[in-house]
A and B are shown apart, each in its own frame.
Chain A
């Protein structure tokens, strides 16, 4: 399953709920305000770093760039995709679940 998270982890519990209910082997795409969760050195970075072994993490590049974060270091292992990569992730996973 592909999970998408579009909320800042500093404002909502969306990411936390997603991580709690995502099964091992799932993918998580951070998009829109969800991209703030992909940055390293924040108060919530460990929540993603700690799950790197059982989930794969992606972040939507255009949303990173729009927010002035292109040069900001990401948590190790988070892969940057564009909208085409987002489409590929949806194709690769049998279902997607948007945590709104």
Chain B
């Protein structure tokens, strides 16, 4: 089936993602399988991370991860968390999604030191060395007091031309107090 045979996305209601591409009924809508594969391929986030969540689309290309029960379609204001932007060349996870699900990331995660982490969450772009892929990365750091732990995700950065561009939305940006070493 080509997208031409499929229904158009209804952007005002929540509709659940099909399990696989073969079950698609709405044009341009990725399947659950494709989304799970993307998190795994891009960041090494295992599929089991989302075992308790259903995936939905509301708004063009806005995907939501939800842990509760709802009918399909659902006419609601919000359902779980916006976690991924699709229907664009490079899929982009949200800040809150990488904070919630990105601790398990094993690739395309760039670790920032204290000063770089503060600049990143203030919304600043910065030149940084990075040997891996360009594109959307998960920026992580080790918060003071937890240096021995696994790094904690800060949000999403776009790495291009030797520069990490902070994608932290305006409302989430913070000037972290410098008392913290």
Partners in one complex: no
Residues in A lying within 8 Å of B, measured CB to CB? none
- Interface set of B (CB-CB < 8 Å, partner A): none
